[in-house]
Amino acid sequence: MLRMPRRRLFTLGGAALIGTLPAPRIGDPFTLGVASGDPLPEGVVLWTRLAPRPLEPSGGLPPVTIPVDWQVATDDGFTRVIRRGTTTASPGYGHAVHVDVQGLQPGRDYFYRFRSQGHLSPIGRTRTAPAKAASPDSLRFAIASCQAYTDGYYDAWRHLASEELDVVFFLGDYIYEGAINSVGGNRMDSALRLPDTYELETDTLDLYRMRYALYRTDPDLQAAHAAFPWVLTWDDHEVQDNYADGVSRFTTVPEQDFLVRRANAYRAYWENQPLRPPRQPAGPDMSLYRRFRFGDLAHAYVLDTRQYRTDQACGDNLRAGCEDRNDPDRTLLGAEQRDWLLGKIGRSEARWNILAQQIMMAECRYGGPANRLDMDKWDGYTADRRRILETATRTPGTVVISGDIHYNYAADLRVKFDRPETPAVAVELVGTSISSGGDGSDSTPQLDMQRRYNPHLRLANGQRGYVRCELGRDSLRADYRVMSQVTRRGGEISTRASFVSERVRPGLVTA
Ligand SMILES: [Fe+2]
């Protein structure tokens, strides 16, 4: 075991304060846990953020740069440390720490921890991706999204942490921007008392930072981060509900004002997630779309459907008879990301191509006489959807994974959804929320209606949880794991439905 360290001195402006100045007593700075992410065959990003008083501005730290030691070992006792170093946590970036560890072996587990100010962090476990030339037999992953702190407890994360997974895909709504009352919303048996600043909607950098800190104090969320590397993308609530590129949901807000808020939100996102330094935003721009390879078994394309999209058609929300949604000039991905994606998928030699993104791609008619469609989803951007699905017809093994909507759906994807007799070209697994929406229920009149009006839907369920998946060389299996409750602690998990789909003949079949 590592011996407890000498007290280290703060540094100011990069220069060490020398002499006899004692280090301030700041308390345990690791209240936000640890995380790893963006696994490559030889490396992974390690993350933590120093915050001895996490619910306060600046995490209760003075505006000084603080050194942080890190270690990577092959055992959880840290008897075989194979990488180590010292980095700094700077106040300009909320005392966040990002370590881009390199020189690791492909496809294996590692353990990591940090040390600062006389304190050791919790231990995290991570896993590198398989070698580029490897031919793995399987990839195990989970799909998760939407963890409104105010809507329920994170027992789903605790259950997820005990699964056997190679990687977790988090598909957006890591935080929600709305005001939170002093008792933390619907966490009914909580003894929590939040500072008044949480009753403000997030728009400044400090408020976004404090919002991440509140979420990260949750021990179940910390356990899920510490168990596996995560690959994350955002959806809308990391900035503001249903924003589109530079357009606020409130049309009276000028674009230049909204972009200031977006810059604050993106900066806090970067600070609080295990992302590589090239992802660091410049003002209101942050490049988040990227690819991961898991040998020749799977390539995962992580998409950003918020930053570059055309404003929602026909005034957003549920609409009937909106022709504008089919305008070929409308885009969800933006031309650059779309061309990147189509080029990569079109040339992919992987057995499977995973599109890890935010919003439901399958057509989803809400039924009834109006039979409306949601303009915020791919239904509002049919030109980009058609281009992707046409490419999928030539690319076996396309799997779309989605979040956003707080329901579980399993869907066969077709180029023309009104032709159910035509073969599916891909499958979509829409994962429900971790907590957003509260307990939910297996079925609702709306879900019944959607099943009736959308023959390509194999499942529509309204409980909380996540989707556990395993890709084999020739088939995919998905288990929809659902929670008995989230508004009280101690929710149990069970498998609501399981599906398989063949790589060369896509179509979800009950397992
Ligand atoms: Fe959400």
Do the domain assignments include residue 350? yes
Ligand 1: distance of its center to the CA of 146 in Å? 4
Residue 436: per-residue pLDDT: 98
Indicate whether 188 pLDDT > 80.
no
- Between the alpha carbon of residue 302 and those of residues 22, 84, 358, the distances in Å are 46, 29, 9
Ligand 1: distance of its center to the CA of 235 in Å? 8
Position 165, amino acid: L
Bridge partners of 70, per DSSP, are 85, 114
Do the domain assignments include residue 25? no
Ligand 1: distance of its center to the CA of 373 in Å? 18
Largest distance between two CA atoms of the chain:
79
Ligand 1: distance of its center to the CA of 5 in Å? 42
Residues 75, 121: contact at Cβ < 8 Å?
Answer: no
User: What digits encode the pLDDT tens for the residues 311-329?
Assistant: 999 999 999 999 999 999 9
Do the domain assignments include residue 492? yes
Instruction: Find the domain containing 453 and state its range.
Output: 139-174+231-262+288-510
User: What digits encode the pLDDT tens for the residues 372-395?
Assistant: 999 999 999 999 999 999 999 999
| Mean pLDDT for the chain overall | 94
* Beta-sheet pairing, 11-12 with 15-16: antiparallel
Residue 197 CA neighbour count, 13 Å, CB half: 16
What's the total number of domains in the chain? Answer: 1
- Token duo for residue 324: 């504008």
Do the domain assignments include residue 354? yes
Ligand 1: distance of its center to the CA of 379 in Å? 18
Ligand 1: distance of its center to the CA of 409 in Å? 15
Ligand 1: distance of its center to the CA of 381 in Å? 19
Ligand 1: distance of its center to the CA of 384 in Å? 22
Ligand 1: distance of its center to the CA of 49 in Å? 24
Ligand 1: distance of its center to the CA of 83 in Å? 38
User: What digits encode the pLDDT tens for the residues 113-141?
Assistant: 999 999 999 999 999 999 999 999 999 99
Do the domain assignments include residue 335? yes
Ligand 1: distance of its center to the CA of 234 in Å? 10
Ligand 1: distance of its center to the CA of 406 in Å? 6
Ligand 1: distance of its center to the CA of 136 in Å? 33
Helix/strand/coil percent split, the chain, to 5: 20, 30, 50
Ligand 1: distance of its center to the CA of 50 in Å? 27
Ligand 1: distance of its center to the CA of 93 in Å? 26
Ligand 1: distance of its center to the CA of 405 in Å? 6
Alpha-carbon distance 234 to 303, whole Å?
9
DSSP H/E element including 255: helix 255-272
Length of the chain, please?
511
| Cβ neighbours, 10 Å, residue 79 | 10
Ligand 1: distance of its center to the CA of 20 in Å? 51
Do the domain assignments include residue 224? no
DSSP H/E element including 211: helix 205-216
User: What digits encode the pLDDT tens for the residues 236-251?
Assistant: 999 999 999 999 988 7
Ligand 1: distance of its center to the CA of 147 in Å? 7
Q: Measuring CA to CA, which residue among 398, 380, 401 is closest to residue 390?
A: 398
**CATH number for the domain harbouring residue 487:** 3.60.21.70
User: What digits encode the pLDDT tens for the residues 441-488?
Assistant: 999 999 999 999 999 999 999 999 999 999 999 999 999 999 999 999
Do the domain assignments include residue 376? yes
Q: Give mean pLDDT, residues 338-342.
A: 98
Ligand 1: distance of its center to the CA of 145 in Å? 7
Alpha-carbon distance 161 to 141, whole Å?
12
Ligand 1: distance of its center to the CA of 143 in Å? 14
Residue 32: per-residue pLDDT: 98
Ligand 1: distance of its center to the CA of 126 in Å? 26
Ligand 1: distance of its center to the CA of 193 in Å? 24
Q: Is 108 exposed, middle or buried (0-12, 13-18, 19+ CB in 10 A)?
A: exposed
User: Under DSSP, is residue 108 helix (H, G, I), strand (E, B) or coil?
Assistant: coil
Residue 191: per-residue pLDDT: 77
Alpha-carbon distance 184 to 178, whole Å?
12
Ligand 1: distance of its center to the CA of 171 in Å? 9
Indicate whether 185 pLDDT > 70.
yes
Position 85, amino acid: G
Tell me the Cα Rg of the chain. 23
Q: Give mean pLDDT, residues 154-167.
A: 98
Do the domain assignments include residue 406? yes
| Confidence category of residue 25, pLDDT binned at 50, 70, 90 | low
Residue 471: phi and psi, rounded to 5, are -95, 125
Ligand 1: distance of its center to the CA of 465 in Å? 13
